[in-house]
Structure 1
Amino acid sequence: MNRSIFALQQVARRTISSSVRRQVDNKVPQNQKMFQEDNGLPIHLKGGSGDAVLYRFTMALTLLGVGFVVYELVNAAFPQKKG
């Protein structure tokens, strides 16, 4: 039992320590260049079409939330009288 646990620990340690780390490209200079470019777009839309979709989704969700809050406030201000 102990031998199998020890073997499992060695295998796990070997696979973790011998794995090759993936090199990650530094994209910060490219992003800085893109976002500092003067192209007339607001900063929250310079990321492309994905940013535009996220912006519109956020605005729609915000308007929906404001509408729901106003609806609930009106219901609280003018409660229905029971029969």
Structure 2
Amino acid sequence: MLLTKQLMALRQVARRSICSSAPRQVENKVPQKQKHFQEDNGMPVHLKGGSADALLYRMTMALTVLGAGYVVYELVKASFPQKKD
């Protein structure tokens, strides 16, 4: 019975702290981002985000090339029979 009362009290405290907190006003940055990414400045859209986008793009390309190379290596290795000792 004591455990039930503690659980009920905990539930009320959790509900009160979530529901009674004041909402924060967050500025809507979508229009500025749309203007930035739709601007015609000769840059591809996947690089308009700055250096972080450029780094992510290069890492993705490097992993793709390495992965494709590894697949080709494994296919060539699998196409030749293994020597039995």
TM-score by length of 1: 0.88
Change (3 A) 1:16 1:76: same
Distance 1:43 1:21 in 2: 34
Partner residue in 2 for 1:68: 70
Counterparts of 1:14 and 1:68, CA distance in 2 = 55
**Among 36, 55, 58, which residue is 1:56 paired with?**
58
| 3-state SS, counterpart of residue 19 of structure 1 | coil
Q: 1:7 aligns with which of 9, 12, 15?
A: 9
- Which moved further from structure 2: 55-64 or 31-40? 31-40
Quote the Cα distance in structure 1 between the aligned partners of 2:82 and 2:73: 14
Partner-residue secondary structure (3-state), 1:6: helix
Q: Could you say what secondary structure the match of 1:7 adopts?
A: helix
Unaligned segments of structure 1, at least 5 residues: none
- List gaps (5 residues or longer) in structure 2: none
Aligned residue number for residue 31 of structure 1:
33
TM-score by length of 2: 0.86
Identity %: 70
Tell whether 2:20 aligns with 1:18.
Answer: yes
- 60-69 or 24-33: which moved more? 24-33
